[in-house]
Structure 1
Amino acid sequence: MAPHTTVTPPRRTEPTASAAAGELVVAPVTITPTKPLTPTHVKGLLWTDVLVKASARVGGVRLVWNNRMATVTTQATAFWHHLDLTEPDTDWSRESDIRIGERYVRFHAERRDTDLRDTDRRALGDYLTRADREGWIHPAGRRMLDVWRAQLDQLGVADLGLAADRPLTTTAQTMLDALADRGLLVDHRRFGGPVHLDGPRWGLPLRRLIGGDGHPNYLLPILRELVPLIRPGRLFLLVHDDDIAADYLLLDRVLTEFGARTARLPLSRVPVGGAPRSSRYGGWQGTTLGDLAATEGTADRAAYRLGMRLYFTGTLHRRSAQPFRMPLLRRCVGRAARLLGQTPADGTSGSAPSLAAALSLLRTEQGYVDPYRLTAALLGRRSGPPAPELRAIYT
């Protein structure tokens, strides 16, 4: 079990000028390793990657990613329990991300209310305990993480720590005690019921944090990781998709109650086949990150990386409702190849100081460099080939 950690962040104070210029803590919503990376996932990952790399040129940035924020959840462990019951002898190291993802879709399609009542709650509790205390991940999940790492390395996304294992920053009980001390819980455990975050105090709905079975909602691991990181001068940027905006608005309020300065960056989902739905419902075949890697064609890896960013951070802006279009992505890769081909061989097309000055002009009020504005500037009619320093951000 992780050591007991006392959660004693500062009470909220008005931000000072020095705090405003402090460290940016970027906390994207993590992804359960149960399915392939879809266009919506790719959009979120590339927005985060460009934002972190660009913002680091003009200020301090810390990226928060911990696998346990995604694996200490019923969403992941219920699926893994199902795999152990139905395929105990499968060699998951030989399975593709697509085939594992197809099982994930079938698992959700076949679940009924009766299935939920008959679920082996004790077994799920054991899975959650192992994931929390030992960093355990089912072999199918480890296989998925290995595939993701290879695909993201090809894409040029900075290492998220997918191969790393570390405990969440504080324990569940410590976090619950800290929330209770601030009156943020509606706790029915003494009656055998659930624990809710008290959203109504801010005009938001109640949100279950722990079920009557004792199993946590995905928000609890996130709070366990983020709340102990609160420090004066830090700004927490919460990156998430629009579909869970209500949860992240509540998360924002809770972090603020603990003294954090916060901002949210909601990103619209990328519709595939006409609907912006969750990956658990399928429909992503032919559009996963593994499929999109085929857009390289005759272009080299740098063109693939830049082209993917031109499409997902430029064409698909933050609130874009455009459906995924493979022909348009291919055109972006082609344009990337032409841009890179114009870069002088001696690397004299730009300098670090001038790039830092340009990036400063593209910062938002919260202090991060806006990926869409940066990409739009790169693609502007008067823009020349990307400077070597800018290429480092995009490729």
Structure 2
Amino acid sequence: MPAEVPPRTARVDRRAVTELVVAPVTITPTKPLTPTHIKGLLWTDVLVKASARLTPVRLVWNDRTATVTAQSTAFWRHLDLTEPDTDWSTETATGIGERYVRYHAGRPRSRPHALDAYLARADDTGWIHPAGRRMLDLWRADLDLLGVADPGLGLDRPLSLSAPAALDLLAGRGLLVDHRSLGGPVHLDGARWGLPLRRLVGADGHPNYLLPILRDLIPMIRPDRMFLLVHDDDLTADYVLLARVLAEFGARAARLSLGRVPLAGSTRSSRHGGWRGATLGDLSATPGTADRAAYRLGMRLYFAACLQRHSPQPFHLPLLRRCVGRAARLLDGAPSDGDHRGGRHLDAVLARLRTRPGYVDPYRLTASLLGRRPLAPTPHLRAIYT
């Protein structure tokens, strides 16, 4: 049975919103975490931890929104065909990622229905290729060192709606242009909002990444929830449409778009490479004298404050090193007082930095550590950053 959703006329009273649902775009476990990924993960981590001091926050991460897609399964099928006997349990993130780059460089094309079994297995059982599971394990270790709470990497959570049920719901709201009866694709129709058609299901029956997201989020809609969709700038058109569709089902939704971090002057997708030496694994293994707390705070100073939301400046390791050094000095001079008064003061600061949708702005909070009259990294504040 389809999950119940609010009626079309449902409206969310801002004063009644009691939970912030943060839904960042997930990452396909096919390559290392690059500076653009790191930026998104750190912004989300600071936002969730800071906002949770003021209002209940739910972070939504579901691996299936990244694995029930042709982008992941086509690569995994390629690995099965070319390296059927490889032991992926000892492979490095760089090694898997370089295979991903070479695969895309070959301009691959799959035969019709070649991915059907892979997609069905990923959707029905949560299956992830051993290379993907190895990548998730490596991500988890890097994020643990960075102090980012595991959002649920590798945890199996079925999507709440089946694909047919989700398509039926969308069709019921007049949101589809459906050519399946003619052997064609299904498009999400945003014309009523002046938005172009967006393919949701290909003629081969394979879903676009938006369909698993809708399958996961639509059943979560409640009158007292605010959805915050976190994504990179390249996906803005898709996420504008996604927010509109969720609103059509009664959700209150806001977006937080983040600019990509250029590498060597380029903001191309990680599938094109160019990230060697700048992945999260590379950065965590870079020699230095700072301790773990300074590394964690310094990374946030760089990716949240220095790079801001839309800075065009490319990734610059020497500047990151300076941020880690600055973090060490901030922590060395930090007060040790952790009583309730410090907590009340921090909450007052966070309330001033809260945006209209209800989340604390990570840039403004992080930048407040670096001004002429910097916010002192008390134990309460360090809990957000380290």
TM-score scaled by length of structure 1? 0.95
Tell me by how many angstroms 1:200 deviates.
1.9
Residue-by-residue CA offset, 1:328-385 (whole Å, 9 max, x unaligned): 0000000000001112345469611111111000001111000000011121221253
SS in 1 for 2:257: strand
In the alignment, the residues of structure 2 paired with residue 296 and residue 256 of structure 1 have an alpha-carbon distance, to the nearest angstrom, of 48
Tell me by how many angstroms 1:94 deviates.
1.3
**Alignment pair present for 1:155 and 2:150:** no
For the 8 Å contact 1:25–1:64, the answer to whether it is kept is yes
Aligned CA distance change for structure 1 residues 45 and 296 (closer, same or farther; 3 Å): farther
- 1:335 aligned partner, one-letter code: R
Say which of 311, 331, 356 aligns to 1:365: 356
Aligned residue pairs total 386
Say which of 316, 324, 327 aligns to 1:333: 324
Aligned CA distance change for structure 1 residues 26 and 368 (closer, same or farther; 3 Å): same
Residue-by-residue CA offset, 1:237-288 (whole Å, 9 max, x unaligned): 0000001111111101111111110111000000001011100010001100
For the 8 Å contact 1:194–1:209, the answer to whether it is kept is yes
1:206 counterpart residue number:
197
SS in 2 for 1:378: coil
- Ranges in structure 2 where 5+ consecutive residues have no aligned partner: none
Identity value in percent: 71
Tell me by how many angstroms 1:295 deviates.
4.5
2:3 counterpart residue number:
6
- 1:168 aligned partner, one-letter code: L
**Alignment pair present for 1:64 and 2:60:** yes
1:304 counterpart residue number:
295
In the alignment, the residues of structure 1 paired with residue 130 and residue 139 of structure 2 have an alpha-carbon distance, to the nearest angstrom, of 14
2:132 counterpart residue number:
141
Tell me by how many angstroms 1:128 deviates.
0.3
In the alignment, the residues of structure 2 paired with residue 10 and residue 129 of structure 1 have an alpha-carbon distance, to the nearest angstrom, of 31
For the 8 Å contact 1:26–1:237, the answer to whether it is kept is yes
1:117-128 → structure 2 map (5 Å cutoff): 119-128=110-119
Aligned CA distance change for structure 1 residues 245 and 348 (closer, same or farther; 3 Å): same
For the 8 Å contact 2:5–2:221, the answer to whether it is kept is no
Question: Structure 1 residue runs of 4+, over 6 Å off?
Answer: none
In the alignment, the residues of structure 1 paired with residue 334 and residue 340 of structure 2 have an alpha-carbon distance, to the nearest angstrom, of 7
Aligned CA distance change for structure 1 residues 6 and 380 (closer, same or farther; 3 Å): same
**Alignment pair present for 1:16 and 2:7:** no
**Alignment pair present for 1:377 and 2:377:** no
Report the aligned-residue RMSD: 1.4
For the 8 Å contact 2:337–2:378, the answer to whether it is kept is no
2:105 counterpart residue number:
109
1:224 counterpart residue number:
215
In the alignment, the residues of structure 1 paired with residue 3 and residue 376 of structure 2 have an alpha-carbon distance, to the nearest angstrom, of 51
Residue-by-residue CA offset, 1:21-66 (whole Å, 9 max, x unaligned): 4211100000000000000000000000000000000111110000
In the alignment, the residues of structure 2 paired with residue 160 and residue 146 of structure 1 have an alpha-carbon distance, to the nearest angstrom, of 13
Say which of 50, 54, 73 aligns to 1:54: 50
